[in-house]
A and B are shown apart, each in its own frame.
Chain A
């Protein structure tokens, strides 16, 4: 129970930290970490104290209910609930509000302190634009932690740093005192309320239901939060680049002049080449994975003996456990050069044998083919393992029926088993496809970064996810269209994979209805 609460709290705290950082919107410095370290240390002492309090509350509540119980006839007959529940109830009263207080406090205090700090600053500093003000605040924070930066700080900064230290300390102390007082107060309050008639069991069950609900809401809220932040940033992007240009544009080159005097492209944000690249690589991957995976599944479920199956199936599934980076360098260092060499020599051979052909084609060392092939290998287990499951779910009686009519095993598989399992197999393929679309690492390493609009698998292409990565790494102004376009790409990708997943789930569910 305490453990559960603690875990809950840890999660909340991590989130809080995250939010705190986000709201600052400042480049992160390593000194931040140190500050956080101290904060967590203090907080963890507080949590430990609260945990002790909660344990004490439990023991007291339980003891109180046992005192009130009339045990003359043996047992706790006159109590509404078992003593355990009274203890629990007291502990919950003690723990939940105080932990909640700590959580809220920690979410709010950075921004409140910042606000107070800004008020103290000289007027001309406080009137600075937001980004510069952020820099000043950051300097002050560094100062407060004793990290001297190159030049001597201006006097108002040193002063502010002092008051920041004070403010932080006060806040921390206030939080500690308040949380502990609140916990004790409520524990005592609920301790006095304990009576044999109190419906402690119902209340505890209700509280647990609420806690469980809160945890699932947390997951949902996080998702919703991510989606909305992507949507809002995309909308900002679409203010500078029209939607139609983004969705239908054929040219992608997001390089923009950062300063007005810089030489640089004006930026072109046509996403078609990226989606075509993604499609090309995914199609190649599926061409590799679907037949291989499906046939492997058929072999495993219909032909293999139990012993072979017990060895081969786990080995196939290991493929899914290999980190994609490993696939990536396998693709870049082994497969791509192989394709380049064999492709080049094949063209040379053709040109020598049939001079009239005169093929002029160069094969790039980074090719969609290499990335697609390796990605195909990677997603084989998705197809094979899901197909194997659905093929196994086809009732034996159908196979018997077909064999009993005199069809061979392969006829039975082709005519009865596969058609019966088809919806499930399609579901598996769609899941594999959405995995392929979302895959980044292999493409970064093997297919390159050039946004070519081509259907030639020998050329280098790039995908949506790879572009998102390249757009966001490195120092960027946060609100330039270049950076914001990453969100628009993410949004489109999200829509596509969501649609695919929905389709897959729908198909799989339809299949389930058939046999249950």
Chain B
């Protein structure tokens, strides 16, 4: 926690000073043969992606991204709007399959297994790589049924008692148990925004995924609910590998181990979070975190 606080202070400091970038100006930087700088790869990779291109129809949204997500790591993805963070994240559990015109090429592996293998079944993949969305999206069911949804469809339990237990532990790990234990059968849509998002996290961890993808999970929440979710992410990283897209650099600094900076569909820089926010290797990264564009 102390390290996080220190990081935050440094970021705030940097954003205040807005120190000049000596390198060639980022707006005119030539992106055509951009190489990712920093340390995109990991010795202990949970997921590893190489040369990933993503197309929406004819339009290319992701250009040759190579990136590892380490075991039990929290990887933050930052970058200006429309740079392809969500697109890249959605490749990791093949949520892009639901978009007809979306085409993904390159190698994407989960523990050495190609996740775009045509023979692979997406159902177990999505159970292993869960996803939390930008807007809380609880099902119009009871709190209990929301959490029990995943275990039920995957047939993880055979007895009601087991299910009860999964629901309870998931809600506890999502830090929601104490608030809802007396009204498990009330509709999930009746909770507050922050509670709904924690319910969605509980729903995701109820199927015991290995990786959790979060796409701007706090952007629809107030600061207090955001702080709770950030705390939760820090706790979850003990058991899960997490990739989180965020618009808030403070948030990235607070919760992540490494940070990846995307720019116009390219991966510009990946480094230790502290380094990205204090002394980035690339001028584009520096321009972004000092607020020159975003």
Contact = CB atoms under 8 A, between A and B. Distances in A.
A84 B118 CA distance: 73
Given A407-B153, A411-B153, A415-B149, A402 B139 contact: yes
Interface in B136-195: 137-141, 149-150, 153-154, 189
B159 to A, nearest CB: 20
A402 B133 CA distance: 11
Contact of A416 (B93, B135, B139): B139
Contact of B126 (A397, A403, A420, A514): A403
A415 B140 contact: no
Nearest to B94: A403
B141 A404 contact: no
B140 A420 contact: yes
B252 interface: no
A173 to B, nearest CB: 71
A382 to B, nearest CB: 24
B112 interface: no
Given A405-B153, A406-B150, A419-B140, A400 B98 contact: yes
B134 to A, nearest CB: 8
A406 to B, nearest CB: 4
A405 B127 contact: yes
**A402, A405, A408: most-surrounded residue (chain B CB, <10 A):** A405
Contacts of B200: 401
A411 B154 CA distance: 11
Interface string A389-409: 000000101111111111110
Contacts of B153: 405-407, 411, 415
Contacts of B125: 406
A305 B99 CA distance: 11
Contacts of B150: 405-407
A404 B95 CA distance: 7
B190 to A, nearest CB: 11
A26 to B, nearest CB: 61
A419 B187 CA distance: 13
A81 B126 CA distance: 69
**B126, B154, B204: most-surrounded residue (chain A CB, <10 A):** B126
B278 to A, nearest CB: 35
B58 interface: no
B133 A401 contact: yes
B207 A400 contact: no
A514 B140 contact: yes
B141 A406 contact: no
Contacts of A305: 100
**A399, A406, A408, A415: most-surrounded residue (chain B CB, <10 A):** A406
Interface string A310-328: 0000000000000000000
A405 B93 CA distance: 10
B139 A404 contact: no
Contact of B154 (A400, A401, A406, A415): A406
| Number of chain A interface residues as a range | 20 to 34
B21 interface: no
Given A406-B150, A420-B139, A400 B95 contact: yes
A390 to B, nearest CB: 13
A75 B127 CA distance: 74
B242 interface: no
Nearest to B206: A405
A400 B140 contact: no
B131 interface: yes
Interface in B93-140: 93, 95, 98, 100, 122-127, 130-131, 133, 135, 137-140
A405 B125 CA distance: 9
B266 interface: no
Given A397-B133, A415-B153, A404 B126 contact: yes
A405 B126 contact: yes
B198 interface: no
A405 B154 CA distance: 9
A514 B224 CA distance: 26
B139 A398 contact: yes
Contact of A404 (B100, B133, B135): B133
B263 interface: no
B126 A406 contact: yes
A420 to B, nearest CB: 5
B137 A398 contact: yes
B85 interface: no
Contacts of A416: 139
B203 interface: yes
B144 to A, nearest CB: 14
A408 B94 CA distance: 13
A399 B93 CA distance: 15
Nearest to B140: A420
Given A406-B153, A514-B189, A401 B139 contact: yes
Contacts of A408: 123
A419 B149 CA distance: 13
A260 B66 CA distance: 101
A405 B189 contact: no
B92 to A, nearest CB: 11
Contacts of B93: 404
Interface in A389-448: 395, 397-408, 411, 415-416, 419-420
Interface of B: 93, 95, 98, 100, 122-127, 130-131, 133, 135, 137-141, 149-150, 153-154, 189, 200, 203-204, 207
Given A406-B124, A406-B125, 6 more contacts: A395-B137, A403-B126, A404-B95, A404-B130, A408-B123, A419-B141
26 contacts: A305-B100, A395-B137, A397-B133, A397-B135, A398-B137, A399-B98, A400-B133, A401-B139, A401-B203, A402-B149, A404-B126, A404-B130, A405-B127, A405-B130, A405-B149, A405-B207, A406-B123, A406-B126, A406-B127, A407-B123, A415-B139, A415-B153, A416-B139, A419-B139, A420-B139, A420-B140
